[in-house]
Amino acid sequence: MSVARLPSGDLSHGPKRAKSDTKPVLGFSDEDKVGTIQPYDDALVITLRIGGYDEKKVLVDQDSAVEIMYPDLYKGLNLKPDDLAPYNSPLVSFEGRVVTPKGQIRLPMQTGAEVVDVDFIVVNVYSPYTAIVARPWLHTLGAVSSTLHQKVKYLSEGQVNEILGDQSMARQCLVAAIQHKLEIEPSGHAGRDL
């Protein structure tokens, strides 16, 4: 992955200026929870510019080792099978099922003035998210994320920038995932595991 800087298209929510006598530190405090709905257990869902388009419903998953692209984003970017490079390693879905990827594609992802080329593994399975960004993106950007504080923070030009999570969108995705699960369960079995 490579990092580049662009002069415009800032999706961050403003830099926090560091005091001149201290270096900026990537961290979180109780002040970072201001504006969040408390208490909650929401996933960290953000908006990122992927392939030149603002994509909502991007899940930040620091436990994942690969970035994933789902069908809605694949179709929305008008990608074709010829655009994909082979990717032959199977993945395991959230439900524990083995998923065979359709391929891999490298796309630019813009965060504020920073552009990171990201290798997305394309899968053809349902997800309420359009994509998952993971450790490779976080590490290349030098970012830290917090579901508790609903933010991703990263340094750019000596300043701490933030990407705010969208709790409303995270909850919409959760409801969509639950509804999808109920729709695919055989009739008469829904709710028996409660």
Domain of 137: which CATH number? 2.40.70.10
Per DSSP, which regions of 61-169 are E strands?
A: 67-69, 91-92, 98-99, 103-111, 114-122, 131-133, 144-146, 151-156, 159-164
Where in the sequence is the domain holding 147, given as residue range(s)? Answer: 35-184
The reply to whether 30 falls in a domain is no
2 within some domain? no
154 in a structural domain: yes
Q: How many domains does the chain have?
A: 1
* 164: nearest Cα among 177, 175, 154, 179: 154
**What amino acid is encoded at 78 in this protein?**
N
Indicate whether 41 belongs to any domain: yes
Is 20 a member of any domain? no
**Which residue type is seen at 10?**
D
Cα 16 off chain centre by: 22
Residue 80 domain flag: yes
pLDDT value for 67: 96
Residue 55 lies inside a defined structural domain of this protein = yes
pLDDT tens digits in sequence order for the chain, 194 residues long: 555 554 444 455 555 555 555 778 888 888 888 888 877 789 999 999 999 899 999 999 999 999 999 999 999 999 999 999 999 888 887 777 888 999 999 999 998 888 999 999 999 999 999 999 999 999 999 999 999 999 999 999 889 999 999 999 999 999 999 998 888 776 544 443 43
Which pLDDT score, from 0 to 100, does residue 41 have? Answer: 85
In a domain, 153, yes or no: yes
